[in-house]
Amino acid sequence: MTLLDHFSPAAARELPGPDWLAARRAAAAARLADLQWPTPAEEIWRYSRVDHLDVARFRPVPAEQMGEPGDEPAPGGGPVAAEAGERSGLVVVRNGRVVHHALDPELEARGVRVCGIATCDAAEIASALGACSDASPDAFTVLHDAFLAGGAFVKVPRGVVVERPVVVLHWSEGDGLASFPHTLVVAEDGAQVTVFDRYGSTDTGAGSVGHLVDAVVELVIGDNAHVRYLSVQEHGPRTWQVALQRAHLGRDATLRSSVVALGGAYARLRSESLLGGSGAESDLTAVYFGDGDQMLDFRTLQDHAAPNTRSDLLFKGAVEDTAQSVYSGLIRIRPEGQKSVAFQTNRNLVLTEGAEAKSVPNLEIEADDVKCSHASTVGPVDDDQLYYLATRGVPPEEAERLVVLGFFDDVFDRLPVPSLVAPLRRSVIEKIEHRDPIARARA
């Protein structure tokens, strides 16, 4: 069986949507036959499980199995979405198609748009869709474009401030199927907005093929615009995810982006920020926790293409049982990026024998008046910290839980939706407490 048996140009043509979206899909589908699929021999895929991912086992979600407007999403987004608190807008996406969207009428009257990519005014979206992802293509973004059925579109006009978050719930289901979530955020000059993406999928059960999620997030941030973005990934244990999150920042723009990754069999995120305007600032943070035989895989790029730009990255992860994590990041300072400041830090806890974390920070500097640094650590919980707590009567398992939560606290404190800190901390606690008994005995 080959990729084109299921992901053929004919299959792409069967998807619903407006003519302009169908034309974009057709152009991408025509490229599929010539694609070179990645292998771990490529640096950007080193240490990954891409050689275990047979895309040909999956098929795109048939049109009749996609959500229809008015359908109820499978689990309603879960408790994390409910605990996000008051919101300005909501988009619910099921298997790649928007089934519900709503927006505060006052914001709508001011020109804010929160809707589905396939149902928005083509004039509003045609120039924005792909503005980020087309600049950093790979085989999975081409496949995504060929089978993009919809997704969420958030647009904030010039000078408008959206006080409360816009919540986007992406739900994927179906054994042996592939879905293609997409979130496109456009913040025009001087605009401000917070967007919370929540990704989830069903547990397809032992012996199943699982589900493939091929996701793209685009953040187009205009001059002096300010975007806060949070992504929470809690896929089922047999879901494979390959995702791209890419931001383009204008002059004096800021991005505060946080990722929480807890689910999936293999979950990969490529997070990239292009600082294209003087004075742009990008802060990227992540919390990830792998257990069982999960692999959580992160590749980052802080790309300084203008002077006086600043970026700061802090990714923290933990692995236990036989789980694995990979972090590979690059700070790139282009010749025009004089007086840029960039920091990159990755910290990892390995909680049990058999778990593994790899960390590969990199610098590529082509300017001579910059300040850059990178740092990484991989190791177990500090014995001195455990001893300190033990001498004060704290049981060993409780002591480790406290140390792990403390390890993540500085990232949790920077989440752009503060109301989600408590439920996400609970999710981490559940990971710690559900450790494989054999791995716990080895620890």
Beta bridge partners of 440: none
C-alpha dihedral sign at 398, 404, 407, 409: negative
Both tokens of 348, joined, read 């990892």
Q: How confident is the model at residue 127 (pLDDT cuts 50, 70, 90)?
A: confident
CA distance 49 to 151: 27
How far the first Cα of the chain sits from its last, in Å, is: 43
Q: Are 238 and 210 in contact (CB under 8 A)?
A: yes
**Mean pLDDT, the chain, whole residue set:** 91
Q: How confident is the model at residue 443 (pLDDT cuts 50, 70, 90)?
A: very low
What per-residue confidence (pLDDT) applies to 74?
A: 46
Which of the four pLDDT bands, split at 50, 70 and 90, describes residue 377? Answer: very high
**Which pLDDT score is estimated for 205?**
79
| 203 pLDDT tier (thresholds 50, 70, 90) | confident
Query: What is the DSSP secondary structure assignment for residue 161, as one 8-state letter?
Result: B
Name the CA radius of gyration of the chain, rounded: 21
Q: Say whether pLDDT at 354 is over 80.
A: yes
* Residue 212 near residue 240 (C-beta atoms within 8 A): yes
The residue type at 409:
D
- pLDDT category, 2, cuts 50, 70, 90? confident
What is the predicted pLDDT for the residue at 76? Answer: 45
Residue 64, Cβ neighbours under 10 Å: how many? 6
Whole-model pTM?
0.95
pLDDT tens per residue across span 226-258: 999 999 999 999 999 999 999 999 999 999 999
Provide the H-helix boundaries in 356-419.
383-390, 396-412
- The pLDDT, as a whole number, for residue 58 is 96
**Per-residue confidence band for 82, with pLDDT thresholds at 50, 70 and 90:** low
Residue of 25, 95, 94, 23 lying closest to 58 (CA atoms): 95
Residues 6+ apart with CB under 8 A from 240: 53, 210, 211, 212, 213, 264, 265, 266, 267
User: Residue 66 has what pLDDT?
Assistant: 77
d(CA 307, CA 399): 46
- Distances, alpha carbon 334 to alpha carbons 73, 137, 218, 227, in Å: 44, 20, 22, 24
Confidence of residue 391 (pLDDT cuts 50, 70, 90): confident
Q: Phi and psi of 33, rounded to 5°?
A: -65, -25
pLDDT band at 438 (very low <50, low <70, confident <90, very high): very low
Which has more confidence, 424 or 78? 424
CB contact at 8 A, 223 and 195: no
In this prediction, residues 285-291 reach a mean pLDDT of 97
